[in-house]
């Protein structure tokens, strides 16, 4: 950080402290809301949802071989395969948004070309484990599922469109050597790795099992009453697996990766929740921005509301996972389900900074075309979803 930036920050903080009317009822209410929202996350989502999800993300980063996925992005790879792999590989490759752009650049310049590269770029941020899990937990499984499915399906369409529009350019790309990450040597069979991952996913599912609604009986309620027993049993099973199947070094790497994600994501999410709470408040509670503004702009399911949501989502920068509390606030203030999905699809895939980087990689015109495709597809998907769940 330059000295001037530091000074500017301190001056800005001073001016905010000096001039903001902190004892105005609206500001008081907003400040209270921001901490109430933080508490809601701390109580409801951190222990049962985020912590297990971080361990899963860490395990994916360490134990799933990237090379086995990346080979489908080579220049000679089968086209149908590279599109399908590109649209779902975000679960494995894109746990951190900082890996998406370098990989995109590689696939675009040396690998399977602009089509699969854009497919990966569009779906990657939306379908990583942390994003799906937190979206489903906080915003409801319908929106979580719609986000994952929408991202996968529309990434293929976006990729095919880009490949079709720029089919001539693609033929002229410079060929050259490709270097993939090394295959790490394995001491376990595939089923052992699969069982280990599955156990962790089940721990997440049971620990996060929601309290049944009173009138909803049967299996759901029955599982809820035994959920902690099941979770503990699964934890014991996991501990046995870790002790017998894994080398000490592997466990250290796993913890390292998990800790890395936590360090990177928790502070951002912390700030994101505070800001979302301050501006928008928890569902049902008014904060700084009046609910009627939100409802007027992105309420209902009109073309305009969806378009506005996807355009503003495309321009805004969301740090990993912060889109979730922000959307929670927006939906609570009257945003429609359709526009919410539009924003979820366009938001993390694009931002003003990432557009600038993209323009550096593939040129301004292609970037503009890509942004238009993303905005249009997100709007259409949002409308279709809003119409479905109406």
DSSP label at residue 44: I
Q: Which is nearer to another protein, 21 or 176 (CB)?
A: 176
Binding map of another protein across residues 217-256, x = CB under 8 A, - = no contact:
----------------------------------------
Q: Which is nearer to another protein, 135 or 253 (CB)?
A: 253
Q: How far is the CB of 174 from another protein (least distance, A)?
A: 9
For residues 108 and 101, give the distance between their C-alpha atoms in angstroms, rounded to a whole number: 10
Q: How far is the CB of 352 from another protein (least distance, A)?
A: 16
For residues 332 and 28, give the distance between their C-alpha atoms in angstroms, rounded to a whole number: 19
For residues 135 and 320, give the distance between their C-alpha atoms in angstroms, rounded to a whole number: 12
Cβ atoms within 10 Å, residue 95: 27
Nearest to 101 by CA among 320, 357, 351: 357
Residues 67-106 that bind another protein (CB under 8 A): 70, 73, 96, 98-99, 101-103, 105-106
Instruction: Kindly state whether residue 361 participates in binding another protein, applying the rule CB under 8 A.
Output: yes
Residue of 177, 190, 213, 243 interacting with another protein (CB under 8 A): 177
> What is the secondary structure of 73-102 as a DSSP string?
GSTTS-HHHHHHHHHHTHHHH-SSHHHHHH
Instruction: Kindly state whether residue 179 participates in binding another protein, applying the rule CB under 8 A.
Output: yes
Compute φ and ψ for 184, nearest 5 degrees. Answer: -85, 145
Contact predicate 61/257, CB 8 Å: yes
Of the listed pieces 23-31, 108-116, 120-128, 129-137, which binds another protein according to CB under 8 A? 108-116
Position of tokens 């503990």?
232
Contact predicate 45/137, CB 8 Å: yes
Q: How far is the CB of 259 from another protein (least distance, A)?
A: 11
Instruction: Kindly state whether residue 366 participates in binding another protein, applying the rule CB under 8 A.
Output: no
Residue of 20, 39, 181, 292 interacting with another protein (CB under 8 A): 181
Q: Which sign does the torsion angle of CA 80, 92, 157, 101 carry?
A: negative
Instruction: Kindly state whether residue 290 participates in binding another protein, applying the rule CB under 8 A.
Output: no
Residue of 31, 212, 260, 300 interacting with another protein (CB under 8 A): 260
| Chain residues in the site for another protein (CB under 8 A) | 66, 70, 73, 96, 98-99, 101-103, 105-111, 176-182, 260, 264, 357, 360-361
């Amino acid at each position: 950080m330059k000295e001037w930036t530091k000074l500017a920050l301190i001056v800005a903080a001073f001016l905010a402290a000096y001039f903001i009317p902190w004892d105005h009822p609206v500001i008081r209410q907003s400040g209270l809301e921001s901490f109430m929202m933080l508490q809601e996350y701390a109580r409801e989502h951190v222990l049962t949802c985020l912590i297990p999800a971080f361990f899963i993300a860490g395990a994916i980063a360490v134990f799933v071989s990237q090379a086995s996925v990346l080979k489908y992005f080579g220049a000679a790879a089968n086209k149908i395969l590279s599109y399908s792999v590109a649209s779902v590989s975000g679960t494995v490759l894109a746990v951190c948004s900082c890996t998406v752009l370098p990989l995109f650049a590689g696939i675009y310049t040396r690998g399977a070309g602009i089509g699969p590269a854009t497919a990966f770029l569009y779906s990657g941020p939306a379908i990583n484990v942390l994003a799906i899990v937190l979206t489903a937990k906080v915003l409801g499984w319908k929106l979580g599922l719609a986000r994952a499915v929408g991202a996968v399906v529309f990434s293929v369409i976006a990729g095919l469109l880009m490949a079709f529009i720029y089919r001539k350019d693609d033929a002229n790309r410079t060929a050259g050597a490709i270097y993939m990450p090394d295959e790490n040597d394995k001491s376990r069979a595939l089923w052992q790795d699969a069982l280990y991952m599955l156990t962790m996913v089940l721990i997440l599912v049971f620990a996060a099992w929601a309290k049944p609604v009173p009138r909803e009986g049967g299996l759901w309620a029955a599982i809820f009453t035994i959920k902690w027993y099941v979770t503990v049993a699964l934890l014991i099973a996991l501990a046995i697996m870790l002790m017998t199947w894994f080398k000490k070094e592997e466990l250290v790497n796993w913890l390292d990766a998990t800790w890395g994600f936590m360090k990177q994501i928790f502070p951002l999410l912390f700030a994101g929740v505070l800001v979302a709470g301050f501006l928008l408040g928890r569902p049902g509670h008014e904060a700084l921005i009046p609910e009627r503004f939100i409802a007027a702009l992105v309420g209902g399911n009109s073309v305009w509301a969806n378009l506005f949501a996807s355009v503003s989502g495309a321009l805004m920068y969301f740090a990993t996972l912060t889109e979730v509390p922000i959307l929670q606030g927006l939906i609570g203030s009257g945003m429609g389900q359709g526009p919410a999905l539009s924003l979820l699809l366009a938001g993390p895939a694009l931002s003003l900074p990432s557009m600038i980087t993209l323009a550096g990689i593939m040129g301004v015109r292609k970037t503009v075309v890509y942004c238009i495709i993303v905005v249009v597809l997100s709007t259409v998907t949002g409308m279709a979803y809003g119409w479905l769940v109406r």
